[in-house]
Amino acid sequence: MVWAALFFTPYFLAGGQVELSPVAMNTWVPLGLYAVIFYLNYLYLINAFLFKKKNTVFILINLVLIGLLAFLNYELKEMYLEHILAKNKTIERPPHEGLFIYLNSITFVVPLVFALAFKTIEKWKKDETRTQEAEKIKLESELQYLRYQLQPHFFFNSLNNIYSLVDIAPDQAKETIHSLSKLMRYLLYETATEYVPLQKEIDFLKTYIELMKLRFSSNVIVNYSFPTVSGDVRIAPLLIITLIENAFKHGVSSTELSRIDFKISVQEETIKFVSVNNYYPKDATDQSGSGIGLLNLDKRLQLIYGNDHKLKIDVQNDLFISKLNIPVR
């Protein structure tokens, strides 16, 4: 379309009142030669030589090409003028051959510059797309790795809970195994997507908390306030569970009555989670947790939400406080 407009604009600007031969010689022939330079470079030369770092060859080929086409343009004008001069002796001849070819060669650089510009922009867009696709694949692979890493970590922690109940409360151990099967079903079949409905995640968290309450029923008070939300509110799965696990890990004493409070709310397109519990640091000999949970959580938050999330973990007056704000998806 662009070339068609360039070809026919001179004729229409003249109101269609001029002969075609001058229009052809002064505009169509040069434009046709410009098109040769443009498409030879755009379709072949730039890819074959310039983008393969063969700069010298690329420059030499274009110098020869421009010189030949400028000379061809001169010869065609000469032939046309010879024909005109045979009819009208008063028409002046063009400048000296060398000067004419030199001036024409300069104009022939213009389509080369346009070809370079278009091809460079096109290459940049393709490279940018490939980079984004590679980043996306890398992100998905890393998230998948972290998710697979989290599942056995969660599973082993839950097995530790069941093990502690087998001798002291066999019936509760059976109930715990049933609850664990629900949790693992969610882990294995419903968390493979990037985001899940917040309500499903809340149901999962409730089941886990009830399971933990069975284990610590005699020496811990657990309160939680979770809303009922619509299916439109979505969240990346298995983020909050890490903080809840951590609260039970550091917030329960074997000798003192402990208290743990959890709260989830949705405010102004933000999901807010708060956990407050007593703080009982583990000593160096305690191997009840691998420490992988919070590291995993921090990596996943960065990969999924970037700078749009806020995670704050603090200890104040022997209370361990975790706050997480993430945007609604």
The Cα–Cα gap between 256 and 243 comes to 22
Contact assessment for residue 251 and residue 300, using Cβ atoms and an 8 Å cutoff: no
Going from the N-terminus, what domains does the chain have, and what CATH number goes with each? 2-129 (no CATH), 169-327 (3.30.565.10)
The Cα–Cα gap between 201 and 221 comes to 22
Contact assessment for residue 235 and residue 195, using Cβ atoms and an 8 Å cutoff: yes
Structure tokens that stand for 287 in this block: 């191997």
At which residue do the structure tokens 């890490």 appear?
242
The Cα–Cα gap between 195 and 307 comes to 18
At residue 250, the 3 state secondary structure works out as helix
Task: Pick the closest to residue 326 from 283, 291, 297 (CA basis).
Answer: 297
Alpha helix stretches (DSSP H) within 167-190: 170-189
Task: Pick the closest to residue 288 from 164, 147, 166 (CA basis).
Answer: 164
Structure tokens that stand for 175 in this block: 């109930």
Structure tokens that stand for 128 in this block: 């940018």
* Burial readout 29-66 (b: 16 or more C-beta within 10 A, e: otherwise): bbbebbebbbebbbeebbeebbeeeeeeebeebbeebb
0.85 cut: is pTM over it?
A: no
Give counts: helices (H), strands (E), the chain.
10, 7
The Cα–Cα gap between 192 and 119 comes to 40
CB neighbours (10 Å) of residue 270? 14
Residue 133 identity = E
- For the chain, the residue count is 329
- The pLDDT, as a whole number, for residue 235 is 93
Task: Pick the closest to residue 100 from 121, 83, 81 (CA basis).
Answer: 81
Structure tokens that stand for 100 in this block: 């004419």
**Tell me, what DSSP letter sits at residue 216?**
T
Structure tokens that stand for 313 in this block: 């973990």
At which residue do the structure tokens 């003192």 appear?
256
The rounded average pLDDT for each run of 10 residues, N- to C-terminus, in the chain (329 residues) is 55 52 60 83 86 85 84 73 55 54 68 85 83 67 57 65 68 73 78 87 90 76 92 88 86 85 93 93 57 76 87 90 93
Structure tokens that stand for 50 in this block: 């310039």
Residue 198 identity = L
